[in-house]
Structure 1
Amino acid sequence: MTPRDASDANDNPWSDLDRPPLNAEALRRGVLREGGFYRDLRVVPRTGSTNSDLVALAETGNADEGAVLVAEEQTAGRGRLDRQWTAPPRSGLFFSVLLRPADVPVSRWGWLPLLTGVAVATGLSRAAGVDTALKWPNDLLVTVGDEERKAGGILAERAGDDGVVVGVGINVTLRADELPVPQAGSLALAGAVSTDRDPLLRAMLRSLEEWYGRWRAAGGDPAASGLQETYAAGCATLGRVVRAELPGDRAITGEAVAIDGDGRLVIATKEGVQEPVGAGDIVHLRPA
């Protein structure tokens, strides 16, 4: 992969002293270890999408499971429903990891974005000292003032027949005047005790390794691995009245009551029906 060249001031990694560049060598020393899960870690100054790049590498046989690709800036980052994700250079953490869960039935691979959410939230709580919550299926929420704000997102994409790339984007030091939308937030705005991106990234990757190993050891069983219970405990969507905007211009409104064994959100409607939702856009209508 070759990130495109640019000549603006943002190409100088020290142009903003509050946003120093990641230390790639130190990250590799801290993450890559003999017998560990991670096999390779690359940091690039700029690219369109770490997910797209890593999927391409995986599909051409140029990346092994445990490969990590990190970008200081993404120019074409994507979330669910192809929504754009942009942020100033070095203001966040944008990375992707290649997983090949060959020993887990494909029917359970739908848990991978939820597993990544648990890992990210756990890692950030430890390293940044900020309370985080998960909005089903793939958003990371923080509290800014008394408002719930989205500070990050997760996108999982298939990479060939045997791989999944999970991508993570986290707003770390975005200031209020830099937010793409008023509903966005960042770790800094949420009062994080640390916004040093190197230890934050290491914490998230270690947490992902731990949860992925536990899930694989259980054959992908979300209950036996503790994933289903942990996700539900940290999910801000449960217990709230929500509107699920589904494919085909269909919508369901009701209380989010559970995460089922397939990772779907179960919504109890006023008609007394409990309907599982596997894909869709969820709008929180009322606090729990």
Structure 2
Amino acid sequence: MTPRDASDENDGSRWSDLERPPLNVTSLRRGLVREGGLWSGVEVVRRTGSTNGDLVALAAADKAAEGAVLVAEEQTAGRGRLDRQWTAPARSGLFFSVFLRPAEVPVDRWGWLPLLTGVAVATGLSRAAGVDTALKWPNDLLVTVGGEERKAGGILAERAGDDGVVIGVGVNVTLRADELPVPGAGSLALAGAVSTDRDPLLRAVLRALEEWYGRWRTAGGDAAGCGLQETYAAGCATLGRLVRAELPGERAVVGEAVAVDGDGRLVLATEDGVREPVGAGDIVHLRPA
């Protein structure tokens, strides 16, 4: 789906780690692409800048059908929220994007898509990797390493044209301690995963995403009606904590995270008794749950 970096041909050292085998695209297609299912195609590229960027461009050029999945063995310009960079060694994680067209759902409910994806990723990894995961609002995946909460993944949603959304997911799978980009990072391996085989992990995540997306879409985006709001709240590590919300315009609000409302916003109860919904911003956990 994207031109392969010409340096791949002469870059054998990057791909010589036998503990990190390549994904099997034939097996992935066989397990995921089926008549009547969501996933219309699966492509795996060896290296790209950003799977989100590539898929947004393909959608804009009308070259991507709903359910297109683009996976990279390595991203050189992966992005998280607030334009933060996401980098990891080749084949050390799951780096992929999907293209969705939720035509049946009002646009004002599309804000649930990153949270829905978080539920799906946590569900799939729990089943396939045997790792307890939690969600930090709005889109971080947390695991426990040595009794400490660590970020092992993130989600980024971007509009693609008038009727589509590209959702990107990055998860550290086999990242070792000496490879962590920052001290607060983690990986499934460091969290004691029973399996780090990326093929079944990716299949499990995409199957869970198909299931939750189908429920949400059938309910017209009603997160409460399809059980998404309750499920997200049950797995959200942010709820019940004192947090600081760093908001656009250099404003900050401190309060206890008490709920996720019907629009997917985090509701903070401040010291002066005000309940303030936060729809966008950076959340800092100030005390353990």
Partner of 2:275 in structure 1? 274
> CA deviation digits over 1:264-286, x for unaligned, max 9?
00000001000000000000000
Query: CA deviation digits over 1:171-206, x for unaligned, max 9?
Result: 000000000000000000000000000000000000
Counterpart among 8, 20, 42 of residue 11 in structure 2: 8
1:1-288 correspondence runs (5 A): 1-6=2-7, 7-10=10-13, 12=15, 15-288=16-289
Secondary structure, aligned partner of 1:261: coil
CA RMSD of aligned residues (A): 0.7
Letter in 2 for 1:18: E
Deviations 1:127-163 (CA, angstroms, capped at 9, x unpaired): 0000000000000000001100000000000000000
* Kept in 2: contact 1:136–1:282 (CA 8 A): yes
Give, in whole Å, the separation in 2 of the partners of 1:148 and 1:252: 23
The amino acid of 1:100's aligned partner reads R
Q: TM-score, normalised by structure 2?
A: 0.98
- Measured against aligned partners, the alpha-carbon deviations of 1:235-255 in whole angstroms (never above 9, x if no partner) come to 000000000000111000010
Q: Which moved more, 1:174-183 or 1:31-40?
A: 31-40
- Is the contact between residue 10 and residue 89 of structure 1 (CA under 8 Å) also seen in structure 2? no
Question: Distance between the aligned counterparts of 1:162 and 1:170, measured in 2?
Answer: 27
* Residues matched between the structures, number: 286
Q: 1:11: how far off?
A: 5.1
Q: How far does the alpha carbon of each residue in 1:93-119 deviate from its partner, in whole angstroms, 9 at most, with x for none?
A: 000000000010000000000000000
Q: Does structure 2 conserve the Cα–Cα contact (< 8 Å) formed by 1:266 and 1:275?
A: yes
Distance of 2:138 and 2:5 partners within structure 1 = 32
CA distance in 2, matches of 1:10, 1:220: 47
- TM, length-normalised to structure 1: 0.98
Structure 2 gaps, min length 5: none
Matched residue of 2:286: which SS?
Answer: strand
Aligned to 2:38, what secondary structure does the other structure show?
A: coil
Counterpart residue type for residue 115 of structure 2: L
Residue-by-residue CA offset, 1:31-60 (whole Å, 9 max, x unaligned): 111211110100000000000000000110
Q: Distance in 2 between matches of 1:182 and 1:21?
A: 27
Q: For residues 212 and 218 of structure 1, what CA distance do their matches in structure 2 show?
A: 10
Aligned equivalents of 1:212, 1:2: Cα separation in 2? 30
Structure 1 residue ranges, 4+ long, deviating more than 4 angstroms after superposition? none
SS of residue matched to 1:19:
coil
Counterparts of 1:73 and 1:99 in 2: how far apart (Å)?
A: 23
Task: State the shift of 1:8 in Å.
Answer: 2.4
User: How far apart are the structure 2 equivalents of 1:34 and 1:270?
Assistant: 54
Within 2, Cα distance between the matches of 1:4 and 1:58? Answer: 22
Secondary structure in 2 matching 1:17: coil
- Letter in structure 1 aligned against 2:131: V
- The whole-number CA distance in structure 2 between the counterparts of 1:208 and 1:96 is 12
